[in-house]
Amino acid sequence: GLAGERDSGRFWAALAGDVHPPWVALLDRAVLASAGARWLLNLTRVLASAGALWIAANLVRRHLGLARVYVCIAALHPVVFMYAGAARWYPFLFLAHALRALSIWGPAPGRARSGALFATGSALGMAASYVEPPFVLLDLVWLHLRSAGQPHARRNLGWIALLSLAALVGSRFASPIAAAHASVAYGQFHPVLSQMVTWLVLGVAGEAALPFPFPLLGLAVAAAAALGFATLVRKPGSRPYALFLASNALVWLCVAPFGIWHPRYSLEVWLALTLMVGAALAGRSRWRVLAWLASAQLLMALALTLLGRGFYKADLNRLDSASCSVLRDAGAQDLVVAPYPGLAELVARTCAPP
C-alpha cells in the first residue's frame, strides 16, 4: 500500500495525482513506520468514528429526546457500518463534523472551550478532505444563531471564525503538494448532476443493488425519514437540531455533483437519515408502517454488505486474469496504489507469480 511505500519520491508523486490532502496518508505512514501493523490503520478510523457516534448519541438524547441506543442502531446503516472503519479519510471527516456539532449544540456555545472544539474540527476536517469549507461556513452560521443573546459568546465568535478559517487555509497551503493539487482540483469544478442522483439513491438504499421490485423499498426509506423529520420539526424542543441535520444534508446534496458522488463520503447524513426513520418508529403516526418497510430495506442492505455481494459495484471485489495483467504489464518503476489495505493484500495473493 501507499502508506508502506519507503521511497519518498514515489510516495509524494502518487499523492500529487490524487485529489485528497496528504495529511491522512502521512499519519498512516507514521503509524506503519512506528508499529508496522496494518490493523492499526483501521483502528484509528474505528476510534474516530466511535468518537463521532458518542458525540452524536449525547446530542441526539439532549436535543431530539431519543435514547442513545437509537444512534447505536442508526450506525448499522449499511454505508456507515461498512465505511466507518475503512482505511480512508471518511471517519476523520465524520469526527470533524461531530466536534463542531458539539461546539454548536453543547451547553456553552461560543465560549473558549467550545471555540477550541470548533477550530479543532475545522483543522481536522480540512486535513481529511478539501470538501470541508462550505460545511465550516454553515456551522459558523449555526454557531452565530446559537450564541444569540449571549454577549460573552458573541465576543468570541470573531476569534472562532478567524481561527477556523486560518485552519482551513493553513491545512490547504501547508501541503507540500498544494500547487499540484490546485490543478487536479480544477477538474472538480464542473458539476455532473448525475453524481447527485447516484449519491442520493445509493445512500438512501444503503448501497444495495437488488432486483425489482425491491428497490422500491428505497422510497419507503425516504418517506419514513421525511415522516420522522416532520415529527421532530413539529416539536419546538427538537426543531432546531433537526433543522441543523437537514441543512448539513442539503450542503452534501449541493456538493455531490462536484466529484462527491459516493455516499461513503458523508457518513453523518446516513446516520441522520436512519435516526429520522427511528423517530418515525417512535412516533404514533398511522404511517408508521412506512418506518417498518424502511427498516426492512436497510436490514436487507446490511445483510448484503455482510455477505459481500448484491451491493453497488460488488464486482470490484473480484479479481481475474485481466486484473492481474494490469500489474504484470506495469513497469518496474511504476507504483500501483490500492485504496484499502485489504485490497492490496488480496491483489498480492491473487496476482503473485507462480
> Rounded to an integer, what distance in angstroms lies between the CA atom of residue 37 and that of residue 158?
43
Range with lowest mean pLDDT among 40-44, 315-319, 331-335: 331-335
Q: What's residue 226's pLDDT? A: 94
Contacts 24+ apart (CB under 8 A), 337-346: 337/1, 337/2, 337/14, 337/18, 338/1, 339/88, 340/86, 340/87, 340/88, 341/1, 341/3, 341/38, 341/41, 341/42, 341/87, 344/1, 346/319
Q: Residue 55 — pLDDT band, cuts 50, 70, 90? A: very high
Rg (CA), the chain: 21
Between residues 202 and 269, the one the model is more confident about = 269
pLDDT tens digits along 144-173: 888 876 767 777 888 888 989 998 888 878
* Mean residue pLDDT across the chain: 83
Contacts 24+ apart (CB under 8 A), 165-168: 165/122, 165/136, 167/119, 167/122, 167/123, 167/126, 168/122, 168/123, 168/126, 168/132, 168/133, 168/136
Q: What's residue 53's pLDDT? A: 96
Global confidence as pTM: 0.85
Using an 8 Å Cβ cutoff, are 167 and 122 in contact?
Answer: yes
Q: Residue 323 — pLDDT band, cuts 50, 70, 90? A: low
Q: What's residue 141's pLDDT? A: 94
Q: Residue 290 — pLDDT band, cuts 50, 70, 90? A: confident
What is the 3-class SS of 11-56, one letter each residue? HHHHHHCCCCCCHHHHHHHHHHHHHCCCHHHHHHHHHHHHHHHHHH
Q: What's residue 19's pLDDT? A: 73
- Percent of the chain past pLDDT 90, that is, above it, reads 35
Terminal-to-terminal C-alpha distance of the chain: 21
Range with lowest mean pLDDT among 13-27, 91-105, 116-130, 260-274: 13-27
Range with lowest mean pLDDT among 109-113, 247-251, 311-315, 337-341: 337-341
Q: Is the pLDDT score of 28 beyond 90?
A: no
Q: Is the pLDDT score of 338 beyond 80?
A: no
pLDDT tens digits along 99-114: 999 999 988 787 778 8
